[in-house]
Chains A and B, each alone.
Chain A
Amino acid sequence: MSQFLQFLFSGITVGATYALAALGFTLIYNASNVINFAQGEFIMLGGMLVFFFLQAGLPMPVAIFLAIAIPAIVGMLIEKFTIEPAREADVVTLIIITIGVSLVIRGVIQVWLGKGTHSYPAFSGNDPILIGGATLLPQSLWVLGITALVVVALWYFFSRTLAGKAILATSCNPLAAQLVGVNTQWVLLVSFALSAALGAIGGVLLTPITLTSYDVGIMLGLKGFVAVVVGGLGSGLGAVVGGLLVGIIEAMAAGYISSAYKDAVPFILILVILFFLPRGIFGAKVTERV
């Protein structure tokens, strides 16, 4: 039982990061129909930037603020200079563009901060908390707490504020939204900034537990994408549930079956889900018009 709890704790912690990445994917997908393969690089950026700014002597809160703000700006630049000029392109082309973007981000960080693995101290010490025979790191509480806050804030933003509703309107029907006065260009920029910030928050929170380096973005991003598909493309609730599910299943499989195949688990999961539930758990049933 304590073993089960232990796996559950580590699963939820990582899963929360996948959920943040998945929310990022969902935001951008809803606003622009683009699957942003560079999403994982924002997670990497978050961790690496905190490490860099701490080394440069900045206090932790400032480092964290910068490590979230800079990716958000990068997100807007990506939208402005790579996605907007290719608005009419088809799915494959857009996928390749975002893959190109992820290569550029990864390459810049590799040249700038090197290939080493980095970490920084947890926010409130490393004394584990004992619960039912399993240990929980304080940093895990930070990850879960902040993720929960972010999810609530996003819910509030999208259901209670004008800006949030404008984004929702754009994702339903861009032309109609434009007609009633929504600045859809602005919506795209905000979506990219928000989704980059979400990824960066995940990276900032998770790095003290899992370490980071210039190349962690691919795997984290892909698993975030798995979470999106598990939950159903385009569904916010699905993204969160999908992220947690992927994290928990991965941790259980690593613990009970084989830790060597931990990274394969989300992808086996995705094949199984796509075969049996092609629209994910929370995906809308749609009939395609021809």
Chain B
Amino acid sequence: MNMLRRHKPLLILAAVLLCLPLVLPNNFYYDIAIRMAINAIIVLGLNLLIGFAGQISLGHAGFIGIGAYASAILPTHFNWHPLLAMVAGAVGASVVAAIVARPIFRLKGHYLAMATLGLGIIIAIVIKNEATYTGGPDGMPVPALGIGSFSINGEKQWYWVLAALLLFSFWASRNLIDSPFGRALRALHGSEVASQVMGVDVVRYKVAIFILSAFFASLMGSVTAHYIGFVTPNIADFFHSIELVTMVVVGGMASIYGSLIGAVLLTALPQALSTFEGWETVVFGSILIFCMIFMPRGLVPTLAERFGGRGEDA
């Protein structure tokens, strides 16, 4: 019983994911649901960095790009197995993150924003320019993901893959936050000096969470590439990084549910806005501004407070 209560949010999410196919009318909606799940997983990782550790990354799309292009290039040009390529991409992204992390995380605020932004843009430019391997601005096709003769294809199969991945990430994030590691992160967000005094190795934790979120971003980049079957440099560009940060901030910093809500809402938004021919950018920008002015802590924490929900969990 206790076990059941502890895992209630996880069970609710599982139930939602199980029932969702009953109401999804066609592949178009499956596609949106899959994109929501992909974004949700990336945002969960990014929120650990931004919300819980209090660090900003404006270059996360760069890591997604590394994963996506590893999954496109290694199997196509070097005959690697797609799964191996995916792992190689994630390890590669982690290595890049690890190399830049130590110097970067001595920085704060605007400087940190600038450094991560610069890193993301450099990765995007490399992808755009190394046309022999990446196909340049036109992008390149990505082989299907599979083992032996079985490969995942079609929206319905991908939906279940993503549902499983999302459940896992949700469970892992919740556990991580309640672990000593998570408490250290939150302490560090509260006051770096205080947590240092209490014996938290501040830089080490920041670096660790940065590498972890880069690793997951890269994995999801690979998944996105395999799912769509094609990659273009847009996946790594600055605007994509901004979209992800926006999902974190609109949903709610340091809120796991916020990550889910933010990803779902902001993935659906462009679809809903496509009727406003040409005005999508304006509406998207206005929503950002309004959210940040009136709910600077994000949707979920603000609503949770207003309706007296369990503050600490929200």
Chain A residues packing against B (C-beta within 8 Å): 35, 82, 85-86, 89-93, 95-97, 99-104, 106-108, 110-111, 218, 222, 225-226, 229, 233, 260-261, 263-264, 266-268, 270-271, 274-275, 278, 290
Q: How many residues of B contact A (CB 8 A)?
A: 46
Contact B114 A86 (CB under 8 A): no
Which residues on the B side are within 8 Å of A290 (C-beta)?
191, 193-194
B276-287: CB near A (< 8 Å → 1, else 0) gives 001111111111
Inter-chain CA distance A233–B114, complex, in Å, is 12
Q: A229-B114, A264-B125 are in contact. Are A92 and B50 (CB under 8 A)?
A: yes
Contact of B110 among A89, A99, A233, A268 (CB under 8 A): A233
At the interface with chain A, which of B26-34, B80-88, B98-106, B163-171? Answer: B98-106
Chain B residue numbers with a CB within 8 Å of A267 are 117-119, 121-122, 125
Which segment of B14-22, B36-44, B205-213, B241-249 sits at the interface? B241-249
Q: Is the CB of B282 within 8 A of A108?
A: yes
Among A35, A99, A101, A108, chain B packs the most CB atoms within 10 A around the CB of A99
B251 to chain A, nearest CB (A): 12
* A236 to B103 Cα, complex, angstroms: 26
- Interchain Cβ contacts under 8 Å between A and B, 15 examples: A35-B110, A82-B289, A92-B50, A96-B288, A100-B292, A107-B284, A218-B238, A222-B117, A233-B111, A264-B125, A267-B125, A268-B122, A271-B122, A274-B114, A290-B194
Smallest CB gap from B58: residue in A: A95
A93, A100, A104, A108: the one contacting B296 at CB < 8 Å is A93
**C-alpha spacing A225/B115, complex, angstroms:** 11
Are A100 and B288 interface neighbours, CB within 8 A? yes
Are the C-beta atoms of B296 and A222 separated by less than 8 Å? no
CB distance from A226 to the nearest CB of B (A): 7
CB of B217 closer than 8 Å to a CB of A: no
Q: Are B119 and A271 in contact (CB-based, < 8 A)?
A: yes
* Closest residue on chain A to residue B281 by CB atoms: A107
Contacts of B113 in A (CB 8 A): 35, 91, 95
Q: Which residues of B contact A93 (CB under 8 A)?
A: 249, 292, 296
A95 touches B56 (CB 8 A): yes
A263 with B285: in contact, given A271-B119, A278-B106 (CB under 8 Å)? no
Q: Which of B56, B109, B238, B283 has the most CB of A within 10 A?
A: B109
Instruction: Report yes or no: A264 in contact with B289, Cβ–Cβ below 8 A.
Output: no
Tell yes or no: B268 within 8 A of A by CB: no
Q: Which residues between 28 and 70 of chain B lie within 8 Å of chain A, taking CB atoms? A: 50, 56, 58
Q: Given the interface contacts A82-B293, A96-B245, A274-B111, does A103 sit within 8 Å of B118 by beta carbon?
A: no
Q: Are A271 and B118 closer than 8 Å at their CB atoms? A: yes
* Residue of B with least CB distance to A264: B125
B282: chain A residues at CB < 8 Å are 103-104, 107-108, 111
User: Which 3 pairs across A and B sit closest by C-beta, in order of nearness?
Assistant: A103-B285, A107-B281, A100-B288
Please tell me which one of the listed residues B103, B238, B288 contacts residue A274 in the complex, with CB atoms under 8 A apart. Answer: B103
Asked if B272 is at the interface (CB within 8 A of a chain A CB), the reply is no
Residues of B within 8 A of A270 (CB): 114-115, 118
User: Are B285 and A102 neighbours in the complex by a CB distance under 8 Å?
Assistant: yes
Output the nearest chain A residue to B277 by Cβ-Cβ distance: A111
Are the C-beta atoms of A96 and B249 separated by less than 8 Å?
yes
Question: Which residue of chain A is the closest to B111 with respect to CB atoms?
Answer: A274
